[in-house]
Amino acid sequence: MIKFSGELSILLGAAIVVVQPQIVAALTPAEVNAIAQAITVRIDGSNTGSGVIIGRQGNDYTVITNWHVLREKGTYTIQKPDGTTEAIKYNLVKQLPGVDLAVLQFNSNQNYQVAEPGNSDQITGGRTIHVAGWADPGPVIVERSFQFLTGQISGRVPKPKDGYALVYTVNALPGMSGGPILDEQGKLVGIHGLAEVDQRTGNVSLVLGIPIKTYLNMASAATPPNTTLASTNSQLSNFQAYIDRARERIDKGDEQGAKEDFQQAQKLDTIQAEKEGLSLAQEAAQLAQFQQNDLALPRAKIATYLVPNNDKVWLLLGGLYLQTRKYDQALIALNKAKFLKPDNADVLFAIGSTYFQTKLYREAEDYYKAGLKIKPTDTNGLFDLGNTYWIQSKSTDAIAYYQKVLSQDAKFWPAINNIGLIKYERGDIEGAIRQWRSAIAVDEKAAEPLLALAVALYSKNEQSLGLTLGKQAITIDKRYGDIEFLKENLWGDRLLANTKKFLQILGTK
């Protein structure tokens, strides 16, 4: 297993970019409930609903909800997680075109938690999800109440109407529209909003939500009600007009035109242009979490023009180049970040990851060590250095660093898994099996230790169990059926040889 620290964690407002997402165990429902209460807002007024705090820049917080909650013009208030309320400025509510989503903002100097986006592409049938929101009064509960409900994804709609692609077994109540759909790690994977009623029985037949990826793909296209986009004339008269046209051009793929407009805006108001650059970086970071690199890259590149002395923005751009395997450009951006802030350990880890992926392992080792001098307990940096030792056949050093990882986080199953890989190559089959069983105990849906255990058991003549586990692993992640992918994830020659035979047999069953 390889996962690069270049968790390149870039905190720009609420944005966090992760080059390789950290693998974590599921939280308890009580822990997810606490997250839900901290990020969910209540909307009252001409209509009722709920919303999710999705972003922050300075004291400005962004909330996402359903458009149908705010579609009716009128007076609305928002109740924040601490119980304080304020009026919603309806003229600043922004509708997302073609989907039942809208965004609004409130200003506060209080420190509210911001939802962490999850990967809604991975939310498939059978996955556990949690839906939260402020339910309307009923016959028994005579005032609005916060509700936290748990169910499973029952399916996905291939051609969703108004964005409603997620179908789930949660009997959400009126008033919860716009509330969060959270995965087992408490990450935001969707927005709840629709219940279809069987006209014959009057019972709810389907409950649906919109994947968060839909929001991230379309957020930059949000426009306030009854407003028009900027003029396409070459000469514009004010800062905002240049900003609006620049954003139009980004959405159309005209990166050079967008850059020119942002530069014109920068001449008119340097401070606001810098804020716009940070906003673009935040958008790019959110998009990067879902590998929407074609949308994220131009935003990050333009952000470096508008905020050229921010090391985090350059780190973001370098991380995006690293994700897209543009290693030369990645090193240019990351070295710029290093020049601006030499003691940024995340930059050093990212440079190490770039060298690792270009097979310059000694250079990678040097940069991982340099990063660990600054952040000696960083689990991802320790793990990456362990991988660098393992790929150089320094197995004793590799195990030592994997064990350092586990001393910081006993549930970091990739380290447990990789110790198993080393033990198997050393001929300690039973020791490897124990490692992989331990990794699965942390995360039963971890495909890699499942497949490795399946191969080891099959080779020990426990064929029935081996085949069962192997099928489970490939069902969870079909990439593990590719020998080249396994090589990339540091599987050794002994295990690869047995796996190749195993996959051939598995394919005939």
Ranges 63-72, 122-131, 341-350, 423-432: which has the least confidence: 122-131
**Residue-wise pLDDT tens digits, 150-182:** 999 998 888 899 999 999 999 888 999 999 999
Residue 3 is predicted with a pLDDT of: 61
Q: What is the pTM of this model?
A: 0.62
Residue 200 is predicted with a pLDDT of: 63
Distance CA 267, CA 278 (A): 17
Confidence of residue 503 (pLDDT cuts 50, 70, 90): very high
Q: Which of 319, 408, 321 minimizes the C-alpha distance to 21?
A: 319
**Residue-wise pLDDT tens digits, 86-102:** 999 888 899 998 899 99
Mean pLDDT value of segment 186-215 = 82
The gap from C-alpha 52 to its chain's centroid, in whole angstroms, comes to 16
CA distances from 282 to 12, 252, 381 (A): 6, 19, 24
In single-letter form, the type of residue at position 39 comes to I
Evaluate whether 351 touches 332 at the Cβ level (below 8 Å): no
The region that residue 133 occupies, defined by phi over 0 for left and psi between -120 and 50 for alpha, beta otherwise, is left
The residue written with tokens 């928002």 in the block is: 78
Helix (H) or strand (E) holding 163, with range, is: none
Distance CA 178, CA 68 (A): 9
Looking at the predicted structure, is the pLDDT value of residue 229 above 90? no
Looking at the predicted structure, is the pLDDT value of residue 231 above 70? no
Could you give the maximum distance between any two Cα atoms of the chain, in Å?
A: 77
Whole-number percent of the chain with pLDDT over 90? 61
- Return the sign of the alpha-carbon dihedral for residues 15, 289, 328, 379: positive
Residue 204 is predicted with a pLDDT of: 62
For the chain, how big is the Rg over CA atoms in Å?
25
More confident residue, 472 or 5: 472
Within 252-394, residue ranges assigned H as helices are 255-268, 270-288, 293-306, 311-323, 327-340, 345-357, 361-374, 379-391
Looking at the predicted structure, is the pLDDT value of residue 408 above 90? yes
Looking at the predicted structure, is the pLDDT value of residue 226 above 90? no
Looking at the predicted structure, is the pLDDT value of residue 468 above 60? yes
Residue 50 is predicted with a pLDDT of: 97
Residue 241 is predicted with a pLDDT of: 78
More confident residue, 231 or 439: 439
Per-position DSSP letters for 289-316, written without gaps between them:
TTT-HHHHHHHHHHHHHHSTT-HHHHHH
Looking at the predicted structure, is the pLDDT value of residue 202 above 60? no
Ranges 64-78, 257-271, 467-481: which has the least confidence: 257-271
Give the CA count within 13 Å in the CB-facing half-sphere of 461: 0
Looking at the predicted structure, is the pLDDT value of residue 484 above 90? yes
Mean pLDDT value of segment 66-73 = 94
Residue 24 is predicted with a pLDDT of: 52
Distance CA 447, CA 434 (A): 16
Mean pLDDT value of segment 109-132 = 88
* Domains defined for the chain, CATH in brackets: 29-217 (2.40.10.120), 410-509 (1.25.40.10)
3 state DSSP class of 200: coil
Evaluate whether 234 touches 212 at the Cβ level (below 8 Å): no
* DSSP conformation class of 143: S
Mean pLDDT value of segment 246-264 = 82
Evaluate whether 417 touches 436 at the Cβ level (below 8 Å): yes
**Residue-wise pLDDT tens digits, 327-342:** 999 999 999 999 999 9
Residue 23 is predicted with a pLDDT of: 45
Give the CA count within 13 Å in the CB-facing half-sphere of 444: 2
Helix (H) or strand (E) holding 506, with range, is: helix 493-508
Evaluate whether 419 touches 439 at the Cβ level (below 8 Å): no
Ranges 206-215, 235-244, 289-298: which has the least confidence: 235-244
Residue 447 is predicted with a pLDDT of: 93
Residue 40 is predicted with a pLDDT of: 97
Looking at the predicted structure, is the pLDDT value of residue 227 above 70? no
Whole-number percent of the chain with pLDDT over 70? 89
Looking at the predicted structure, is the pLDDT value of residue 222 above 60? no
**Residue-wise pLDDT tens digits, 268-312:** 888 888 888 888 888 888 777 666 788 889 889 989 988 999 999
**Residue-wise pLDDT tens digits, 375-393:** 999 999 999 999 999 999 9
The per-residue pLDDT of the chain, averaged, comes to 87
